[in-house]
Amino acid sequence: MGAAADRWREQLLAWAIPPEILSAVPDSPWTVPTQMFARRADTSVAAPEGASYRRAREAVGDGGSVLDVGAGAGAASLPLGSPITAVDVSPDMLAALTTRAQRLGLAVHTIEGRWPDVARQTPAADVVVCHHVAYNVADLAPFAIALTEHSRRRVVLELTANHPMAALNPLWTEMHGITRPTGPTAWDAVDVLHEVGIRPEIETGPRPLRPEYPSFQDLVAITRRRLCLPPEREAELARTLVRLGVDPEHPRDLPPPQDVVATVWWSP
């Protein structure tokens, strides 16, 4: 572990929720409904776009294989139209991905577990994709090394320019009166890659428009859980979201300070 890896870990640890706030509610703020990931996967399959898709598609070619780490419901891998090995800690996510792969006529093999803990039992693939997982990984260096070791042609890592939860920082101030961290950034992640000898290419651009929630109430309920608020504060939160710019007719998460996504790719 070098200085960049240490700095990455320390900045992520700063996102820990104060225990007095966390213990006051029964629901985990880190649990995201499978339906959210399923909507993202369906949107990606219907209209593949973005640098990450293009960089993976050009490397996988015709007949190549894909390993999707932290796969969710398959937003990163399903649009590529290739055989998939999917790794995720959630059996519900893997089931949602499998259903969609079968619907598309794609071969799929799932591995339940956390990367790189399950790396030894995971086969290599032509292209490894890993979207929006890095900010959940404190030890990014061994994580990235294991991605590289499992790729025959290319690794494509996608992450937002800033920590994805930074979009909620104004709400933490409004609802709890506390200031949340802002780092690390995608460039901090690239520093960690450099530290372990990976020299990636980097491309940034606007983040594709995220799918809407089924209703404004769904957005409020999920945001309330993320903020560790009790149900009786939902009405207050709803008013605050509207004041901060959320359209109840087209409910989406608040955008982060920089609504930019970074595509980071390299060859093994």
Domain ranges of the chain: 3-162+181-211+257-266
Please list, in sequence order, all residues whose beta carbon lies within 8 angstroms of the beta carbon of residue 240, skipping any fewer than 6 positions away: 171, 174, 175
Cα separation, 266 vs 154, in Å, equals: 6
Q: What is the CA radius of gyration of the chain?
A: 19
Residue 75 confidence class, pLDDT cut points 50, 70, 90 = very high
pLDDT in tens, 117-131: 999 999 999 999 999
Exposed e or buried b per residue across 139-151, where buried means at least 16 C-beta atoms within 10 angstroms of its C-beta: ebbebbbbbbebb
3-162+181-211+257-266, which class in CATH? alpha beta
180 Cβ contact partners less than 8 Å away, ≥ 6 residues apart: 15, 165, 166, 168, 169, 172, 173
pLDDT (tens digit, 9 = 90+) per residue, 173-185? 999 999 999 999 9
**Cα–Cα distance between 75 and 157 in angstroms, integer?**
13
What backbone torsions phi and psi does residue 9 show, to the nearest 5 degrees?
A: -60, -45
Whether 70 contacts 115, CB under 8 Å: yes
Q: Is the dihedral of CA 187, 189, 193, 199 positive or negative?
A: negative
- How far is it, in rounded angstroms, from Cα 33 to Cα 268? 34
Whether the full predicted model's pTM is greater than 0.85, yes or no, is yes
Q: What's the mean pLDDT in 84-92?
A: 97
CA-wise closest residue to 93 among 68, 117, 118:
68
The answer to whether the CB of 59 falls within 8 A of the CB of 77 is no
Kindly indicate the confidence band of residue 32, based on its pLDDT and cuts at 50, 70 and 90: confident
For the segment 15-24, what is each residue's pLDDT rounded down to a tens digit?
Answer: 999 999 999 9
